[in-house]
Structure formats: structure tokens, C-alpha cells
């Protein structure tokens, strides 16, 4: 997995290894061992899937009591994914970053606990 650090402490853009041939492709979107090797040790307890139409803006969402880190990926289309550091003790408090995530680039965003997160749908 290729790991791209963002200017915001703890937030990452991940590019999984893709094995592709004339039948299609395979990628590993999550592996506890691989994630631990890159510093993501949070326990995964929930998996969500949403579908939004072009021009929809979702977020910015964050949790106060039942905090969550988020692994975000797009299986169809393209979004502009945005996250904001709301951790008061963080050196990057208040800073934000965005990345295009799509079914073509197969990138994923790791959004740690303490961040607001949202996305804007760019595709049909």
C-alpha cells in the first residue's frame, strides 16, 4: 500500500495495491496488519455505505461522544473529500485538507478520530 501523508497530522491518503487483469481487479481495502504497520491501530467496529447524486454535499460531520475514525473510499464515481482537524491539542488544529477519491484512482482517505469529514459529489 502506498501511503501519502497530508499536511494534517494523522490524516492519510492511501493507495492500495491493485491486481488487475482482463477479468477485472482485486484490491485489499483493509488489513489489520497492514494498517498497524502504517500507524492506524484503531479498532474497526462499523462499515457504512452511502450513495449520493452529482452536486450533493455531505458533511461536515463529526462525533463528540462516540468518536470515530473513518476509512473513506469511492466505489463508483468521484468525490472531493474534505476533512478538518478539530483536535484542540493538535498542531494542525483548524486546518483542512481535500483529496479527490474515485473508482478510477482507487484512493482511500484515513480520517482520524477528532476530525470533521464531508464530501462533494463530482460525478453522475
Which pTM was predicted? Answer: 0.92
What average pLDDT does range 50-75 have in this prediction?
Answer: 94
pLDDT at 45: 87
**Residue 93: burial class (beta carbons within 10 Å; 0-12, 13-18, 19+):** middle
Residue 29 has pLDDT above 90, yes or no: yes
Average pLDDT over residues 65-77: 95
Average pLDDT estimate for 47-54: 94
**What average pLDDT does range 90-111 have in this prediction?**
97
Mean residue pLDDT of the chain comes to 96
- According to the model, what pLDDT value does residue 59 have? 87
Rounded Cα distance, 124 and 120, in Å: 12
DSSP state of 37: H
List residues bridging with 12 in a β-sheet: 5, 110
**What DSSP string describes 1-18?**
-EEEE-SSTT-EEEE--E
Amino acid at each position: 500500500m502506498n501511503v501519502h501523508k497530508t499536511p494534517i497530522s494523522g490524516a492519510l491518503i492511501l493507495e492500495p495495491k491493485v491486481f488487475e487483469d482482463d477479468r477485472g481487479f482485486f484490491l485489499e481495502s483493509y488489513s489489520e496488519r497492514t494498517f498497524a504497520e502504517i500507524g492506524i491501530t484503531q479498532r474497526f467496529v462499523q462499515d457504512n455505505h452511502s450513495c449520493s447524486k452529482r452536486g450533493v454535499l455531505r458533511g461536515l460531520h463529526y462525533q463528540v461522544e462516540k468518536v470515530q475514525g473513518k476509512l473513506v473510499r469511492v466505489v463508483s464515481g468521484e468525490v472531493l473529500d474534505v476533512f478538518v482537524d478539530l483536535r484542540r491539542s493538535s498542531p494542525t488544529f483548524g486546518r483542512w485538507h481535500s483529496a479527490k477519491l474515485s473508482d478510477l484512482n482507487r484512493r482511500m482517505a484515513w480520517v482520524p478520530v477528532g476530525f470533521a469529514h464531508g464530501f462533494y459529489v463530482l460525478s453522475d
